[in-house]
Chain A
Amino acid sequence: MTTGTTQMANYRQKTGMNRLGLWLFIVSDTFVFAGLFISRFYLLGTATRPEVSQWLGLAVTSILLISSFFMNRAETAIAHGDQKAFLNGTLITLVLGTLFVIGVVGVEWQVAPYGPGEDASWSLFYTMTGFHAFHVLTGLIFLAVVYRKGRKGQFSSERHWPVEAAAVYWHFIDVVWVFFYPALYLIGNPPL
């Protein structure tokens, strides 16, 4: 076995362990989000939802969904050695992720009729959206680091574990929102 082949085998073995570690982190984080999700139904049931704009909910959800599509394209591109498409995809994901945070924290929180101190259900609404937005923010930092390293040409079709990790984390954020979106914006009617 040549030195290059041995190095590649070691890299793949290491990537396998890293992958397992990332998924264990995701599973542990899922429990926190699941606790918040269940609390929403415990406090409001299925007949009531917070008094928020369904159109704004659809807008931010669409932005996050489109960002996931571009992140997938970016990862596919680097896995096939297409540096330019990888950088473009990552940059678009960064922009859309920033728009999502602005949509939730900068717009939704400002137009919401009540603050987090109103009652337990509003406190939970801000906790759910805030905790999720914080994850988006950390995902954006992760993506910015990956983008910077990508511009320096540090990834190739064979070696791009950081890109894969950033993509998996980003899609996890999307999965969380897939459940938060109906829970906060669609299920039940606003209180009269």
Chain B
Amino acid sequence: MDEKKKMAYRQGLVVFLLLAVLTIGEFFIGVVASLWWMPLLGIAFFKAFLIVRDYMHIGRLFTADEEEVFP
């Protein structure tokens, strides 16, 4: 497995672990303090940011065709 591929897989895994931790965190906030809507929405926005940046690769939209990068 070449280094670039390994790096891409590792990045996907790190993002997934972050999303998992945040999801468990928001579940416990929801169970213990369900009226804390601001932290819950804050976590949701952060999770969305991670997915849009690292899984949906929004950056590709702004890169020139010649310098196109694969995940």
Q: Can you list 22 residue pairs at the A/B interface with Cβ under 8 Å?
A: A19-B60, A23-B61, A54-B30, A65-B23, A68-B19, A68-B55, A71-B55, A76-B9, A80-B2, A80-B8, A171-B56, A175-B52, A178-B47, A179-B44, A182-B30, A182-B37, A182-B43, A182-B44, A185-B30, A186-B30, A187-B30, A187-B34
- Residues 134-174 (chain A) with a chain B CB within 8 angstroms: 157, 167-168, 171-172, 174
Quick check: A68 and B60 within 8 Å, CB to CB? no
Q: A28 to B38, alpha carbons, bound, how many Å? A: 26
| Chain B: number of interface residues, binned into ranges | 35 or more
Quick check: A186 and B20 within 8 Å, CB to CB? no
Contact among B5, B29, B44, B66 for A76, CB-based, below 8 A: B5
Q: Check: A84 CB closer than 8 A to any chain B CB.
A: no
- Residues 29-71 (chain B) with a chain A CB within 8 angstroms: 29-31, 34-35, 37, 40-41, 43-44, 47-48, 51-52, 54-58, 60-61, 65-66, 68, 70-71
What DSSP secondary structure best describes chain A's contact surface?
helix
Quick check: B61 and A20 within 8 Å, CB to CB? yes
What mask results when residues 174 to 192 of chain A are scored 1 for a CB within 8 Å of chain B, else 0?
1100110110011111000
Q: A72 to B35, alpha carbons, bound, how many Å? A: 34
Contacts of B58 in A (CB 8 A): 23
Quick check: B55 and A171 within 8 Å, CB to CB? yes
- Decide: A72 near B43, CB < 8 A? Known: A46-B37, A182-B30: no
Contacts of A23 in B (CB 8 A): 58, 61
Contacts of B55 in A (CB 8 A): 68, 71-72, 167, 171, 174
Quick check: B65 and A188 within 8 Å, CB to CB? no
Give the total of A residues in contact with B, Cβ under 8 Å: 43
- Residues 31-72 (chain A) with a chain B CB within 8 angstroms: 46-47, 49, 54, 58, 61-62, 65-66, 68-69, 71-72
What DSSP secondary structure best describes chain B's contact surface?
helix
Contact among A9, A15, A174 for B51, CB-based, below 8 A: A174
Quick check: B26 and A186 within 8 Å, CB to CB? yes
Closest-CB distance, B59 to chain A (whole angstroms): 11
Contacts of B5 in A (CB 8 A): 76, 80, 82
Quick check: B37 and A54 within 8 Å, CB to CB? no
Quick check: B48 and A175 within 8 Å, CB to CB? yes
Contacts of B8 in A (CB 8 A): 76, 79-80
Q: A16 to B5, alpha carbons, bound, how many Å? A: 23
Contact among B20, B52, B57 for A65, CB-based, below 8 A: B20
